[in-house]
Copies of this chain bind each other. A is one copy, B any other.
Amino acid sequence: MADTQRVAIVGGTGYAGAELLRLLAGHPEAEVVAVTSRGDAGTPVAEAYPQLRGVIDLEFSVPEAATFADCDVVFFATPHAAAMHDVPALLAAGKRVIDLSADFRLRDPALWARWYGVAHACPELIERAVYGLPELNRKAIAGADLVACPGCYPTAVVLGFKPLIDAGLVDVSTLVADAKTGVSGAGKSLKPGFLFAEMNESFKAYGVDGHRHLPEIRQVLGDLARGDVGLTFVPHLVPMIRGIHATLYAQLADRVDLQAVFERAYADEPFVDVLDAGATPETRHVRASNMCRIAVHRPGDGDTAVVLSVIDNLVKGAAGQAVQCFNLMIGAPETRALAAPGPLP
């Protein structure tokens, strides 16, 4: 068993923070010693998240140096452009940082500034950050002191396209990712469009002309393809809380047994499950779980590959992936605290 780590969560009032608390509550090598929230300092965590009554006995605290003094690992579950202000001091103090926000995902600070509307506060650290997708970077994550966890859409889309691109099977200039998400990815944002009365019994696309996850996906797929990729990415909002379903389309350059390609690609991955030929994953099959379930189809035996990839945006798309990285970093089994199946129905 790895040494127990003293852990802090910055920005614990959001959904990713709550999910981190749920997962870490069952982690034998993690002791959560601080959960910060400027706005709610002094409030018991279990008042904000009554499901944690009797489980988490902490109050939200102010995020300041003293809070983190005796921590080993700090998770950031903050909105973008927050972590980058605190990370330099934490690294300097020898802490390891797992950032669930967008601050260290893009390698190009200019590109980051364009999409996030503000200059990056510590561009010199970006290169030090390891992109926290274990299926790509397992070894680097284990040795990292700064991990940039992927966005939820990128996780679902990249895991879906990866075997096709790795095997050189598709035309990477005309990729299409039609993605659908539950609303919890937006966090607790008080925007009219996220009200129940505006969302139930309705479905819509958004961000068609540009979504912040687009450059991230392009960067990662471009790495896989060793060159630029042409990707059309259209996100949609589903009247549900959790879950992402990415439907991916690619023109096949070659006719091979796609099922075998996918099964081989993910044979050893604990959190990628390739379904049997012909199956279709449902987002509830991964609810509250760290699994990504994938099916690959070639409709009508034609030239188009269709990949269906589902994750829980708050788990494999956020908190679960962060715990998976944490496990790698501390030398614990990769599935620690992540093995329990989710409830269904």
Contacts and interface: CB of A to CB of B under 8 A. Distances in A.
Interface stretch (A32-40, A122-130, A238-246): A238-246
Interface string A44-55: 000001111111
Contacts of A288: 288, 343
Contacts of A26: 340
Interface in A150-177: 174, 176
A281 interface: yes
Interface residues of A, number: 87
A22 B118 CA distance: 43
A232 B304 contact: yes
Contact of A281 (B197, B204, B249): B204
A50 to B, nearest CB: 4
B208 A280 contact: yes
B345 A242 contact: yes
Nearest to A238: B203
Interface string A133-144: 000000000000
A205 interface: yes
16 contacts: A51-B284, A180-B180, A180-B236, A182-B203, A184-B345, A188-B195, A194-B195, A201-B243, A203-B240, A208-B280, A232-B302, A232-B306, A233-B299, A234-B247, A287-B343, A288-B343
